[in-house]
Amino acid sequence: MKKAIIGKKVGMTQIFDEAGKVIPVTVIEAGPCVVVQKKTNEKEGYTSVQLGFEDVQEKDLNKPLKGHIKKAGVAPKKHLKEFRLEGAAAMDVGDELRADVFSEGDKVDVTGISRGKGFAGVIKRWNAQRTPTSHGGGPVHRHAGSMGSNTDPSRIFPGKIGAGHMGVEQVTVQNLDVVKVDAKLNLIAVRGAIPGPKGGIVYVKNTVKNNKVKHAATPRVSTNPQKRSARNA
């Protein structure tokens, strides 16, 4: 990946473009992130950097993390994440990344932990259908119903939909537009919604999608004199 940063979801709002159209955006407090560790091709077999985000008191860290931070010689950080950045070889421990690593018009992928929705049934969790509501359906219209198991295989296969805990899963929303970047306040506004609650940690990376620029197709002129395009040429 070329660019990446750790951030915190602030919330959603709306801004207006030059034409006066409303753009729904999510504001992300991106950085400042500090390089806590650098991995090189000679030692680890690949090149990457570990970024730290959000200051925290040293007493709130466990012993291994305290030693890791002390070795880097940086302020204690609450969140650490490793990225294989394109320019990782040129970075050093202690370097700082801010929101201006991205610019307006960039396409990004945002990864976060989705909001928890508690225990949910199959209709809400998996978009299942209700059972028939007539002819003795009984009070089980929103239940999962028969699982289809018989003497063979006499069990439920793994992955079968069912009721359970919904949410609190890693979700990535791809190909979002960076609408605005405020380098002074370390804020990035991306078009649309991103996963997680307000205050949730998110990882912003340049998109893996291949966005090709579409050019207007040139009209094809036929050389057949029996066709209109040839006669008008």
pLDDT digits (tens, 9 = 90+) for 140-193: 888 888 887 788 888 888 888 999 999 999 999 999 999 999 989 999 999 999
The verdict on 187 and 111 lying in the same domain is: yes
Q: Give the confidence band of 232 by pLDDT, cuts at 50, 70, 90.
A: low
- Which pLDDT band holds residue 219 (cuts at 50, 70, 90)? low
Question: Are 131 and 45 in the same domain?
Answer: no
Distance, in Å, from the CA atom of 102 to the CA atom of 98, rounded to the nearest integer, reads 9
In a domain, 66, yes or no: yes
28 closest CA partner among 11, 13, 14? 11
pLDDT of amino acid 153: 86
Point out the least confidently predicted range of 76-80, 118-122, 214-218.
214-218
Give the model's pLDDT for residue 214: 67
Whether residue 218 is predicted with pLDDT greater than 70 in this model: the reply is: no
Indicate the average pLDDT of the chain. Answer: 88
Mean pLDDT, range 47-70, rounded to an integer: 90
Total domains in the chain come to 2
The whole-model pTM stands at 0.81
Give the CA count within 13 Å in the CB-facing half-sphere of 98. Answer: 8
Tell me, what's the pLDDT at 145? Answer: 82
3-state secondary structure of 59: helix
193 located within any domain: yes
Residue 229: its pLDDT value, please?
65
Domain assignment present for 134: yes
Q: Tell me: the pLDDT tens digits for 194-210?
A: 999 999 999 999 998 88
The Cα angle at residue 212 between residues 210 and 214, in degrees rounded to 5? 155
Task: Tell me which residue has tokens 């570990």.
Answer: 50
Q: At 21, give phi and psi (nearest 5°).
A: -85, 145
Query: 81 by DSSP, 3-state: which?
Result: strand
CATH for 197 = 2.40.30.10
Edge-to-edge strand ranges of the sheet holding 48-55 = 77-83, 48-55, 33-39, 96-97
For 87-137, how does the pLDDT look when each residue is reduced to its tens digit (9 = 90+)? 888 888 888 899 989 999 899 999 999 999 999 999 999 999 988 888 887
Same domain for 56 and 102, yes or no, is: yes
Residue 111: its pLDDT value, please?
A: 95
pLDDT surpasses 60 at 233: no
pLDDT of residue 58: 87
Do residues 186 and 154 share a domain? no
17 pLDDT above the threshold of 80: yes
Same domain, 125 and 111: no
Residue 14 φ then ψ, to 5°: -140, 145
Is residue 37 domain-resident? Answer: yes
CA atoms within 13 A of residue 24's CA, in its CB half-sphere: 5
Which residues constitute the domain of residue 141? 117-166
List C-alpha distances in Å: 109 to 81, 112, 193. Answer: 16, 10, 12
